[in-house]
Structure 1
Amino acid sequence: MAASSTLVYHHLPFFFLVFLLHAQPCPAAGGSWSTLLPSIGISAMHMQLLPNDRVVMYDRTDFGISNISLPNGKCRPNTTDCSAHSVEYDVASNTVRPLMVLSNVWCSSGTLMPDGRLVQTGGFDDGYRVVRIYKSCDSCDWQEIRDGLNQQRWYATNHILPDGKQIIIGGRRAFSYEFFPKISTNENTPSFPFLAQTNDPNAENNLYPFVFLYPDGNLFIFANNRAILFDYSKNQVIKTYPTIPGGQPRNYPSTGSAVLLPLRMTQGTVAAVEVLVCGGAPKGAFVNANKGIFDGALDTCGRIKISDPNPQWAMETMPSARVMGDMLLLPNGHVLIINGVSAGVAGWELGRNPVLSPVVYHPDKQVGSRFEVQNPSTIPRVYHSTAVLLRDGRVLVGGSNAHDKYEFTNVLYPTELSLEAFSPSYLDSNSSEFRPTIILPVKNTRIGYGKQVVVVFTVSGIVDPSSVSVTMVAPSFNTHSFSMNQRLIVLDGSPASKIIGRSRYQVVVTTPPSGNVAPAGNYILYLVHKDIPSPGIWVQMQ
């Protein structure tokens, strides 16, 4: 793979200056793969990690008969399908339990609510306007609210808000947004012209928009090749950002991915707010792919500091082109880019040339040395693949089905039912002496806003006080190459750790100041030492 990295600064409106900074080729840096289960019975099109270390997954109800049966002879009503299309995976026991989902959850969206329930919305056909709720327990199952949405939501994006509600934005032919839970049954559905303006009549390219909560309570929304800052309470655009250089589409079906880079707290404020958008497919790629012409994916990332008074995109070149890749924030603030293909677009049979090697992006390194290629998997993860961060620092990878039903033979990319784990290099055995373990706080500790928290940890090796940090990661809902609600906060704290006993240390940090920075709910707290995170512990912001 080519491994040069290029940065381009763009200044509007009349000129731009290009700097080409080339790095030396970067070899595979590490990371390892393991197969967890050869089959979970379904193809994991959607994933959400829950606060009890279980992961809810589902595909769609009209794929046909899956490879896992519903319990106790159950069948879906009015069908002969007695198989499950949703499962709950228990990380600790490495087992799955089938769940009953009634309406079609295909290409739906969701949010983990502050009380730990997964509230999941929309889908296809009989699922267009359904709200589904899952509260995990050994015998729990999906609960469904028919007509829980005002409009059909298919390929929408959800985000948790500071008041504990979730906003549901867009969807196919749905240029509007709404909220759940609702204040009243006749609550209106505001129109959202930005989605109509970014809609490509030939390919859409604005589905599953990238949405991030800005620390002032407004929303950063990226669709197709454009972005805005949006006040959803007033239905008002606060700021319009420059079009991403080159104007190439980055949203479904030209599916790139995006992350809100780590929010670093300094004296109670966020030092800078940056968004990174990577990959996608060029204009016309969707039309061409349907003709059997598979255009090469985009190999660029755009990075923009949206907190600047006059924000501009800086473009970088990835080691390899990628469409349908997933971008995940790792506990140490690095960004993992995983899954996807290097040609074509999202859609049935429309992708080619799987990209098997993940890439780690180091946001704080100099341009030219930010991308690090990792060791490859052997399993193609193409259309409808997923990935989520687990509390122990591994990345759970599943899914991949480029077909409109389960297809296991005589196809280019068979339906994939397996689960894998990718272990980043910080989990290598040669890092064990520097890997911390959190003693306090204990799991499920409730913490308030703007409070000091003492984090006690152990390390067997010598601690470098200047390399200790504490991060909080919000568990995300992952589907179609975007992790909704993904958020990592680097807590404000003393730069040095205090020795309080043999191999035992403490650091005092201050929690985020408000729900605008960290919406109430469940987070995974990590102690990071020399870029090596501890196993995380669940905490509750309230």
Structure 2
Amino acid sequence: MENNLYPSLHLCPDGNLFIFANNRSILLDYTNNKVVRMYPDMPGGVARNYPSTGSSVLLPLKLLPINSSAPNAEVFICGGTHPYSYQKANEGMFLEATRSCGRLNITSANPEWEMEEMPLRRVMGDMILLPTGDVLIMNGARKGSAGWNDAIDPVLIPVIYQPDTDDSGTMKFGGFEVMKGSVISRLYHSSAHLLSDGRAVYNFSTELSVEAFYPPCLDSSRSRPSNLWISAGTEFGNMQKFEVNFQYEIMVYLGKNDNEKIKVTMVAPSFTTHSFSMNQRVLVLANDGVRQVSAVSYYVECYVPATAALAPPGYYLKPPFYTWSGLDLT
């Protein structure tokens, strides 16, 4: 039987750990070393952990205002291959990777996997959360498995998945968008990382070059707010408020009742190995809307995340502003 190394782990809003290996998953109270929940098996008969390597993200958490319930949390897992693909690759037979992805609301009372398909087959793909909340999927191969010389037919084309969150914080199915491809293969021991300027860089252990990918939100034709600063003396915790100040040359007609039209996100960067980007997290902060200060100056009142389970201590990126379906501040 093959290994299922490098399982996917995500910190749930209730402080427990979601753990996924190949097609099975649990919720673990790691403080008391107790399994508190077992989830349904992901359908399809596909293995998704090393060496049949897929990738996984915790989709953006949409935080709700004070005195509201905890946010929904949903994992999104893509790629992988046949459970015995590694063995077959060592025999010279390279099996096709899967196109399938699964989404699971891990906070639902009755969770069920919802399956989708990527435009391209992929094993050893890297999944990166962008500041807009979209998921960038890149690197990997169409056939074979993880391991040196165990994969062929590199996937040179990245895709972006848009989760589509509605105003209640419930994820709804979005879609995939195919991006412009590279000419360099990025296979076993490749990695991808989000930079503070919004680009994603990716490399390969036996290839000395590093490439940078510009997602659509960095399109120079898009208008973009500027000069971000956060109110001085902000102490994070206990659902306090803080101000995000910015300038925008285009008039913004938003008020206190239009807070769903603006999105302010906190982005925790990742550290990556074997197609799993650990620590990455995107939080969509609750806010009380936009106030205008002068002709081009505005501020947004945001709520600080209430617990360390929502926003684990550490560094968070302050990427540049983006405009995306209205006005997004990241």
Question: Structure 2 length as normaliser, TM-score?
Answer: 0.90
Q: Report the Cα distance in structure 2 between the residues aligned to 1:211 and 1:464, rounded to whole angstroms.
A: 41
Preserved CA contact (<8 Å) 2:154 2:187:
yes
Bigger mean CA offset, 436-445 vs 388-397: 436-445
Q: Summarize the alignment of residues 261-272 of structure 1 with structure 2, pairs less than 5 Å apart.
A: 261-268=59-66, 269-272=69-72
Aligned partner (choices 384, 409, 419) of residue 210 of structure 2: 419
Bigger mean CA offset, 222-231 vs 519-528: 519-528
SS in 1 for 2:267: strand
Aligned partner (choices 73, 91, 94) of residue 294 of structure 1: 94
Q: Summarize the alignment of residues 102-501 of structure 1 with structure 2, pairs less than 5 Å apart.
A: 201=1, 203-204=2-3, 206-268=4-66, 269-364=69-164, 370-400=175-205, 415-431=206-222, 433=223, 435-441=224-230, 447-463=236-252, 465=254, 467-494=261-288, 496-501=289-294
SS in 1 for 2:193: strand
SS in 2 for 1:286: helix
Aligned partner (choices 515, 518, 529) of residue 308 of structure 2: 515
Give the direction of change, closer, same or farther, for the CA distance of 1:252–1:436 in structure 2 (3 Å limit).
same
Preserved CA contact (<8 Å) 2:164 2:174:
no
SS in 1 for 2:186: coil
Question: Structure 1 length as normaliser, TM-score?
Answer: 0.56
Q: Report the Cα distance in structure 1 between the residues aligned to 2:123 and 2:232, rounded to whole angstroms.
A: 37
1:233, distance to aligned residue in structure 2 (A):
1.2
Superposed CA deviations along residues 220-264 of structure 1, whole A, max 9, x for unmatched, are: 000121000001111110000011011311001101000000011
Superposed CA deviations along residues 53-83 of structure 1, whole A, max 9, x for unmatched, are: xxxxxxxxxxxxxxxxxxxxxxxxxxxxxxx
SS in 2 for 1:521: coil
1:367, distance to aligned residue in structure 2 (A):
7.4
> What letter matches 1:340 in structure 2?
G
Give the direction of change, closer, same or farther, for the CA distance of 1:267–1:430 in structure 2 (3 Å limit).
same
1:449, distance to aligned residue in structure 2 (A):
4.0
The alignment-based identity, stated in percent, is 47
> What letter matches 1:450 in structure 2?
M
Preserved CA contact (<8 Å) 2:140 2:155:
yes
Q: Report the Cα distance in structure 2 between the residues aligned to 1:464 and 1:240, rounded to whole angstroms.
A: 47
Query: Could you tell me which residue of structure 1 aligns to residue 168 of structure 2?
Result: none
1:380, distance to aligned residue in structure 2 (A):
1.1
Bigger mean CA offset, 443-452 vs 335-344: 443-452
Q: Report the Cα distance in structure 1 between the residues aligned to 2:231 and 2:93, rounded to whole angstroms.
A: 55
Preserved CA contact (<8 Å) 1:393 1:533:
no
The structure whose Rg is larger is: 1
Structure 1 gaps of 5+ residues are 1-200, 401-414, 537-542
1:209, distance to aligned residue in structure 2 (A):
0.7
Q: Report the Cα distance in structure 2 between the residues aligned to 1:421 and 1:533, rounded to whole angstroms.
A: 23
Q: Report the Cα distance in structure 2 between the residues aligned to 1:468 and 1:492, rounded to whole angstroms.
A: 10
Q: Report the Cα distance in structure 1 between the residues aligned to 2:5 and 2:177, rounded to whole angstroms.
A: 29
Q: Report the Cα distance in structure 2 between the residues aligned to 1:379 and 1:444, rounded to whole angstroms.
A: 47
Q: Summarize the alignment of residues 48-59 of structure 1 with structure 2, pairs less than 5 Å apart.
A: none
1:438, distance to aligned residue in structure 2 (A):
4.2
> What letter matches 2:208 in structure 1?
L
1:213, distance to aligned residue in structure 2 (A):
0.6
Preserved CA contact (<8 Å) 1:342 1:353:
yes
1:429, distance to aligned residue in structure 2 (A):
1.2
1:270, distance to aligned residue in structure 2 (A):
3.4
Q: Report the Cα distance in structure 2 between the residues aligned to 1:423 and 1:217, rounded to whole angstroms.
A: 34
Give the direction of change, closer, same or farther, for the CA distance of 1:285–1:273 in structure 2 (3 Å limit).
same
Superposed CA deviations along residues 288-339 of structure 1, whole A, max 9, x for unmatched, are: 1111111110100000011111100000011011011110110010111111
Preserved CA contact (<8 Å) 2:27 2:38:
yes
Cα-Cα RMSD: 2.1
SS in 2 for 1:270: coil
Q: Report the Cα distance in structure 2 between the residues aligned to 1:330 and 1:525, rounded to whole angstroms.
A: 12
Q: Report the Cα distance in structure 2 between the residues aligned to 1:246 and 1:223, rounded to whole angstroms.
A: 14
Q: Report the Cα distance in structure 2 between the residues aligned to 1:451 and 1:375, rounded to whole angstroms.
A: 42
Q: Report the Cα distance in structure 2 between the residues aligned to 1:353 and 1:493, rounded to whole angstroms.
A: 46
Q: Report the Cα distance in structure 1 between the residues aligned to 2:253 and 2:279, rounded to whole angstroms.
A: 32
Q: Report the Cα distance in structure 1 between the residues aligned to 2:233 and 2:136, rounded to whole angstroms.
A: 27
Q: Report the Cα distance in structure 2 between the residues aligned to 1:533 and 1:479, rounded to whole angstroms.
A: 30
Give the direction of change, closer, same or farther, for the CA distance of 1:245–1:376 in structure 2 (3 Å limit).
same
Give the direction of change, closer, same or farther, for the CA distance of 1:498–1:507 in structure 2 (3 Å limit).
same
